[in-house]
């Protein structure tokens, strides 16, 4: 094995690291405009005011058309129901958002695992697990920096099952690379040269959360991860 990568083999994924970096979030604005719900409410209030005034001042000898008034009341009743439904929906959305915010905050300081090819190098430590569907007589793990440059190549051949690897952030020449987001690609073949199916998982420590968007995201150093991508919460240390 080369390039400062060490590994272990087992049937479950376990990663132990002690990295700690900080992440920053970003925010984006949204266009402003009229509020449809407010418009509906104002129209409904205006209608009731006009109807009440009309009823008070109608000519007793020529009263309002009952059928027409009934139709108008039914229409506005539908509007009222729509307003109430919208208010209830907003309340539900607010409750869900509050619960999601509480959930995402629980990830702070913990190590999480996800399937994918991108991973964070934190304090010169990164953890990658590879699961082989069958024995990999020949397997190579290539690590690339954010520009797509190949920085590390390691022999990761092994038996069927899960193998855990820890990369110390050194390139193939032994130079220490800066913390940041890197990507990994594993190619494996069996003894006959046939490709072996592989599943790659990466892990990192959650150093921050970003709740500025519609969906909260996790920060692992300078790497942003969606909550839905997390498959396992490993530990808090």
DSSP for 142-204, written as a single string: EEE-TTS-EEEEEE--B-SEEEEEEE-SB-TTSPBPPSEEEEEEEEEE-TTSPBPPEEEEEEE
Q: Strand, coil or helix: what is 112?
A: strand
pLDDT for 57: 77
Count of C-beta atoms within a 10 Å radius of residue 178: 9
- Print pLDDT tens along the chain (237 aa): 455 666 665 544 333 333 333 333 444 444 455 566 666 667 777 877 877 787 777 777 777 677 777 777 777 777 778 777 777 776 666 555 555 666 778 888 899 999 999 999 999 999 999 999 999 999 999 999 999 999 999 999 999 999 999 999 999 999 999 999 999 999 999 999 999 999 999 999 999 988 887 778 899 999 999 888 999 988 765
pLDDT for 96: 57
The pTM for the full model equals 0.58
pLDDT for 185: 96
Write out the two tokens for 40.
């509906």
Write out the two tokens for 218.
């996790």
Decide: 145 and 126 in contact? Cβ < 8 Å: no
Decide: 129 and 15 in contact? Cβ < 8 Å: yes
Distance separating alpha carbons of residues 161 and 201, to the nearest angstrom: 13
Distance separating alpha carbons of residues 21 and 180, to the nearest angstrom: 10
Domain ranges of the chain: 5-13+108-235
The CATH-assigned architecture of domain 5-13+108-235 is: Sandwich (2.60)
């Amino acid at each position: 094995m080369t390039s400062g990568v060490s590994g272990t083999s087992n049937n479950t994924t376990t990663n132990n690291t002690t990295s700690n970096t900080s992440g920053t979030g970003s925010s984006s604005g949204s266009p402003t405009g009229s509020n449809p719900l407010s418009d509906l409410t104002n129209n409904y209030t205006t209608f009731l005011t006009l109807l009440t005034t009309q009823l008070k001042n109608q000519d007793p000898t020529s009263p309002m058309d009952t059928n027409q008034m009934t139709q108008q009341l039914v229409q506005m009743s539908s509007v009222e129901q729509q307003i109430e439904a919208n208010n209830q929906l907003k309340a539900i959305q607010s409750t869900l958002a509050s619960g999601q915010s509480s959930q995402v905050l629980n990830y702070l300081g913990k190590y999480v695992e996800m399937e994918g090819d991108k991973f964070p190098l934190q304090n010169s430590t990164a953890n990658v697990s590879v699961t082989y569907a069958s024995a990999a007589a020949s397997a190579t793990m290539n690590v690339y920096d954010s520009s797509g440059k190949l920085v590390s190549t390691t022999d990761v051949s092994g038996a069927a099952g899960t193998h855990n690897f820890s990369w110390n952030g050194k390139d193939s020449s032994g130079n220490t690379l800066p913390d940041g987001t890197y990507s990994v690609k594993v190619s494996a073949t069996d003894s006959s040269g046939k490709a072996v199916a592989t599943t790659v998982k990466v892990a990192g420590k959650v150093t921050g959360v970003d709740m500025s968007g519609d969906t909260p995201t996790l920060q692992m150093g300078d790497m942003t991860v969606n909550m839905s991508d997390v498959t396992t919460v490993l530990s808090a240390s």
